[in-house]
Amino acid sequence: MNLTACLLLSAALFSIGAYGLVTRRNMIAALMSLELMVNAALINFIAFARFGGTHAGQGDAQAGSLFALFAVAVTAAEMALALAIVVAVHRQRRHLDIRELDGLHG
């Protein structure tokens, strides 16, 4: 268990999330892929907090944890709004297909 392993894990998680974001057509599924990518970023924060980066040989555990906390809070806000929109869209359109949602297309 070292920094490289954690970063590789997070890279793989991010890529999987990116794949999901490209291929999924359902709004909720796309949001879940986005969650995976955010999670990969969180793993990076904590990994750097534990092992330190290239400048200092030692991590700042407080800063890392707090940054992760902020990221979690931002995600919570984002998901609350996104899910409210999802439910509203579903009520109006009866579907959640991203490609069909072109009301702003003009």
Partner 1 sequence: MNVRDAFFYALCALLLGLAVLTVAAGNLFRAALALLGVLLCTAVLFLLLQAEMAALAQVMVYIGGIMIFVLYAVLLTSELGGRMPAPSPVKMLLGVAVAAVALGFLAGLAQKTGAGAAAARARMHAESATKESAASSADAEAGVNIASLKTLGQKLLDPKGFLIPFELISVLLLAAMVGAIAVARQGGAGVRGGSEPGAAAISVKDQGGAGAAESRGAPP
41 Cβ contact list (under 8 Å, min separation 6) = 10, 14, 71
The residue from 15, 98, 100, 101 that contacts partner 1 (CB under 8 A) is 15
Considering the rule CB under 8 A, would residue 29 count as an interface residue with partner 1?
A: yes
Radius of gyration of the chain (CA): 17
Considering the rule CB under 8 A, would residue 79 count as an interface residue with partner 1?
A: yes
Q: Which of residues 32-71 bind partner 1 (CB under 8 A)?
A: 32-33, 35-36, 39, 42-43, 45-47, 49-66, 68-70
> C-beta of 96: minimal distance to partner 1 in Å?
6
> C-beta of 103: minimal distance to partner 1 in Å?
14
